[in-house]
Amino acid sequence: MRAHVRLDLNPGERSALKSLTAEEREAVIDDLLAQAREDLEWVVARAAVEEPAPRPRAVTPPPPLGARPETRKPARPQRRPPPRSWINR
């Protein structure tokens, strides 16, 4: 079974293909398809090596409608050291 491939040919290439016999035309098209397959295999192989597979990201579902946002306890304020004065010395 032959895949349907649209070749973007310029008018000179199109007329050259028309001048070939049916067997020659089939051979040329087979060569073009083999070259396209090889090029595509190289592109896929190169992309697989260069780009590592993305890590799945953890997805958190949105809160239900009307739900209150979670409240956290406020962070404890840092204790200040006692003020230094000449009395405390």
DSSP letters along 9-68, please?
Answer: --HHHHHHHHHS-HHHHHHHHHHHHHHHHHHHHHHHHHHHHHSPPPPPPP-PPPPPTTPP
What local confidence, expressed as pLDDT, does residue 56 receive? Answer: 77
As a whole number of angstroms, the distance between CA 39 and CA 46 comes to 11
Indicate whether 19 pLDDT > 60: yes
Indicate whether 1 pLDDT > 80: no
Cβ 24 vs Cβ 54: under 8 Å: no
C-beta contacts of 35-43 below 8 A and 24+ residues apart: 36/5
Indicate whether 34 pLDDT > 60: yes
Residue with more model confidence, 52 or 29: 29
Q: Residue 40 corresponds to which tokens in the numbers above?
A: 């595509």
